[in-house]
Amino acid sequence: MATPSPFESAPLSTVTLAVDCMGGDFGPSVTLPACEAFLARHERAALVLVGKPEALSNFSHPRCRVVTASEVVGMDDPVEVALRRKKDSSMRVAIAQVKDGAAQAAVSAGNTGALMAIARYLLKTMDGIDRPAIAPQLPNMKGGATTVLDLGANVDCDAEDLLQFAVLGSALVSALTGNESPSVGLLNIGEEAIKGSETIKKASQLLREAGQSQDLNFYGNVEGNDIFKGTTEIVVCDGFVGNVALKASEGVASMISGYMRQEFSRNLLTKLAGILAYPVLSALKKRLDHRRYNGAALLGLRGLVFKSHGSADALAFGYALDRAYDAARNNLLERVRARIAHAAPLLGRADADAQTEVTALQD
């Protein structure tokens, strides 16, 4: 399937990303312009573009090669269909590039459930990790980003899962920011009377132990608002809670911007005020632009995969590519392995379970 290109003689330190060009709501019309801009930004980067031949035929670049795939995973395809029926999908072929060592990370804007299932099936879970997690970054008041995991991949988590998320998140943040000891908060609720469920209490204990043994920089419990305050670099929670917190936050942000539009377009005077305030409002919009935070890592697998929002435009998809690139060139995978090895006594239990689950998936 592969078309050889000059890229193959590139020096070893080149980082290559495999891009599922068909994924997302807009497919190649978004992914290809983003890839072109990405290559222009990063002189040492190379890409493997994966997709239907007719969609990619007009694109060529010296640091780019095309690998064709005959199928596309639809945004609404059930996991089973994506995993078992579409074995030549662009999503799967892109992830296979990572498995085969032809790329250091894969990026897709396709359906999250399918992406996680295929990535897990092809790449397998790392030793010491029960469940891979999805870790996006959210903006915070300190002007940085808070990494939150899990964001929807794991619905019922136990305390050990939350500890593993903390280890995975720490590796990700250290690879992306260079901070080798990022702080971790455990998402909890604040009422005196009700300090969280049994799972949270146990997770808090495990994280405290990990903190004492210096495997983690555990801050303690945090609340929902701390995600946006930036109290800690990393916030761990189960996938259900994380997903609800993320969507609720998006809901509030939409409501506020909707209200702003309404108030500024109420009459001639308010419209004039809007024009005069335009530079300020557009600076505000830029700071809140969620596209800058696009690109969530799938962590805990034996290979790097990044998920872009399905509705990403070329700018947003470019941020996901950049994030994957940074993670790959800063050896995220090695960092994860090292942190897991270091925390092994605390994570001990995970190994057997993980293998059972992978076997179940293969059936």
The token duo for 277 is 């305030």
Helix (H, G, I), strand (E, B) or coil at 177: helix
Q: At 51, is the secondary structure helix, strand, or coil?
A: strand
Q: Does 1 bind a second copy (CB under 8 A)?
A: no
The residue (of 33 and 74) whose beta carbon lies closer to a second copy is 74
- Backbone phi, then psi, for 146, in 5-degree steps? -105, 130
Cβ proximity to a second copy: between 246 and 344 the closer is: 246
Our CB check for a second copy shows the closer of 31 and 111 to be 111
Cα–Cα distances in Å, from 235 out to 11, 19, 33, 93, 227?
Answer: 38, 28, 33, 32, 7
Least Å from the CB of residue 248 to a second copy: 3
Site for a second copy in 156-195 (CB under 8 A): 156, 187, 189-194
Among 170, 1, 6, 20, residue whose Cα is nearest residue 103: 20
In the list 35, 237, 320, 343, the residue contacting a second copy (rule: CB under 8 A) is: 237
Question: What amino acid is encoded at 24 in this protein?
Answer: G
124 or 335, CB closer to a second copy?
124
- Token pair of 163, please? 């500890």
Q: Are 46 and 40 in contact (CB under 8 A)?
A: no
- Give whichever of 7 and 240 is closer to a second copy, judged by the CB atom: 240
Q: What CA–CA distance (Å, rounded) separates 101 from 104?
A: 7
Dist. CA 108–CA 40, nearest whole Å:
20
* SS3 at position 258: helix
Q: Is 361 in the site for a second copy (CB under 8 A)?
A: no
Contacts of 101 (CB under 8 A, 6+ apart): none
Residue selected from 20, 77, 160, 161 as contacting a second copy according to rule CB under 8 A: 77
* Identified binder of a second copy from the candidate list 196, 211, 220, 310, rule CB under 8 A: 196
- In one-letter notation, the amino acid at residue 120 is R
Q: Does 245 bind a second copy (CB under 8 A)?
A: yes
Show contacts with a second copy in window 204-223 (CB under 8 A). 223
d(CA 293, CA 134): 14
Regarding 295 and contact with a second copy (CB under 8 A), the answer is no
Question: If binding is defined by CB under 8 A, does position 360 make contact with a second copy?
Answer: no
Other C-beta atoms lying within 10 Å of the C-beta of residue 276 = 10
For residue 300 the two structure tokens come to 């805990």
Question: For 124, left (φ over 0), alpha (ψ -120 to 50), or beta?
Answer: left
31-50: contacts with a second copy (CB under 8 A): none
Window contacting a second copy (CB under 8 A); options: 42-50, 52-60, 158-166, 236-244: 236-244
- Pick the closer one to a second copy by CB: 1 or 288: 288
Beta strands in 33-182 (DSSP E): 45-51, 64-68, 105-108, 133-135, 137-139, 145-149
Residue 249 as a binder of a second copy (CB under 8 A): the answer is yes
**Of 40 and 277, which CB lies nearer to a second copy in the complex structure?**
277
Smaller CB separation from a second copy, 179 or 225: 225
Instruction: Determine if 253 is a binding residue for a second copy (CB under 8 A).
Output: yes
Pick one of 1, 276, 341, 361: the residue that binds a second copy (CB under 8 A): 276
Footprint on residues 97-126 left by a second copy (CB under 8 A): 111-114, 116-117
Q: Is 241 in the site for a second copy (CB under 8 A)?
A: yes
Binding span for a second copy by CB under 8 A among 5-13, 240-248, 308-316, 355-363:
240-248
Considering the complex, what minimum distance in angstroms separates the CB of residue 349 from a second copy?
21
- Contact call for residue 244 and a second copy (CB under 8 A): yes
